[in-house]
């Protein structure tokens, strides 16, 4: 059994330095991992470039698509301009190949002429611009033609097209940079750049490592990726008069006319007991009563032993008198 959940959304928080100079600066990057429907992780690197006071562009500077190969089985990742793996392709320089775009490769370089380069995204693809107010909070977004920024609920979402050759469905994660007028995501402060958090709602492929049962009787499969998947629920049967059940061997009981018909419920419902997971069943023996009976038995044994001793002494005296 395995469990994997594709990433539908990812949020990132970063502090941009308001004193930074315009242009590409090293170190102003953050990594986001997204997962496809098969639980395979793909890394996206975001870069922030200051273009004007209180305005930054967001770029994808690296995108690694796991498991993608050309027709000869050679691993490939991204296209920079019209060159990939040092192979020149026809087409406009800097074009984003983000769907089923066709390109004609050089002869004998693995691709069939005119075939599709599926899901290859060129390096340094600009997603859009983020503007900040004087308090360092996001004040607005401007979308690039190759990206989609959704301003509903005042959040920025970037939809990336990246189908995977692993057989997973097409990746369309949404990256949330924050909310307009707040500082719950990317902010701008007069301090050094820092990534404050990166959250995503997907997980990698996981293997089942165990089973857990909660107090409601829900049986969950536990996976090594931290996920727990509900697979069943324990049912509890009750009787109108459980004391009138017919006791059988092996700690079993059978229904009788006096006990009434069985009624099936879940934990804590309709008079049913609760479930305690990872616990051993306790003994039904009353230890206090058993200890009392043991003491009484021991005293009876002692008394009987003294009676035998006394009878033996009397018999010995009778024998002595006869002599």
**Residues 121-139: tens digit of each pLDDT:** 444 466 778 888 888 888 8
Strands 9-17 and 187-189, how do they pair? parallel
| Predicted confidence pLDDT, tens digits, the chain (323 residues) | 334 444 445 566 666 766 676 655 655 787 877 777 777 777 777 778 888 888 888 776 655 544 444 444 444 444 444 444 444 444 433 333 433 334 444 444 433 333 334 334 444 466 778 888 888 888 887 766 444 443 333 334 444 444 445 566 656 666 777 777 878 778 888 777 777 666 666 667 778 888 888 888 888 888 887 778 888 888 888 888 888 889 888 778 898 988 888 888 888 887 788 888 777 776 677 788 888 889 888 888 887 777 777 777 778 877 777 66
Cβ neighbours around 13 below 10 Å, total: 19
Is-contact 47 76, C-beta < 8 A? no
Q: For the full predicted model, state whether its pTM sits above 0.75.
A: no
- What confidence tens digit (pLDDT) does each residue in 210-253 have? 888 888 888 888 888 777 888 888 888 888 888 888 988 877 88
**Which residues touch 275 (CB under 8 Å, ≥6 apart)?**
213, 214, 215, 216, 217, 234, 236, 267
Q: Which residues neighbour 74 within 8 Å (Cβ) at sequence distance 6 or greater?
A: 85, 110
Percent helix, strand, coil in the chain (nearest 5)? 15, 40, 50
């Amino acid at each position: 059994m395995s469990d994997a959940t594709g990433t539908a959304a990812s949020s990132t928080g970063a502090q941009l330095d308001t004193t930074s100079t315009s242009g590409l600066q090293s170190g102003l990057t953050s990594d986001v991992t997204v997962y496809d429907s098969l639980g395979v992780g793909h890394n996206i690197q975001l870069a922030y470039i200051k273009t004007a006071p209180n305005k930054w562009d967001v770029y994808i500077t690296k995108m690694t698509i796991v498991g993608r190969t050309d027709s000869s089985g050679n691993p490939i990742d991204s296209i920079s301009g019209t060159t990939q793996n040092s192979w020149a392709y026809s087409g406009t320089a800097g074009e984003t190949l983000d769907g089923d775009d066709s390109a004609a490769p050089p002869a004998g370089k693995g691709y069939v002429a005119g075939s599709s380069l599926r899901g290859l995204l060129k390096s340094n693809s600009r997603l859009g611009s983020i503007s900040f107010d004087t308090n360092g909070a996001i004040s607005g977004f401007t979308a690039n033609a190759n990206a989609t920024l959704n301003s509903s609920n005042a959040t920025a979402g970037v939809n990336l097209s990246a189908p995977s050759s692993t057989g997973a469905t097409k990746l369309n994660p949404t990256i949330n940079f924050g909310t307009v007028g707040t500082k719950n995501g990317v902010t701008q402060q007069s301090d050094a750049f820092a990534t404050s958090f990166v959250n995503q709602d997907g997980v990698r492929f996981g293997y089942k490592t165990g089973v857990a049962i909660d107090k409601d009787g829900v049986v969950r499969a536990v996976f090594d990726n931290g996920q727990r998947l509900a697979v069943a629920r324990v049912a509890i049967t009750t009787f109108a008069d459980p004391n009138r059940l017919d006791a059988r061997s092996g700690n079993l009981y059978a229904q009788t006319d006096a006990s009434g018909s069985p009624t099936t419920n879940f934990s804590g419902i309709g008079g049913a007991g609760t479930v305690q997971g990872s616990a051993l069943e306790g003994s039904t023996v009353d230890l206090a009563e058993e200890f009392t009976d043991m003491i009484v038995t021991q005293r009876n044994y002692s008394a009987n032993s003294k009676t035998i001793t006394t009878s033996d002494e009397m018999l010995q005296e009778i024998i002595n008198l006869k002599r």
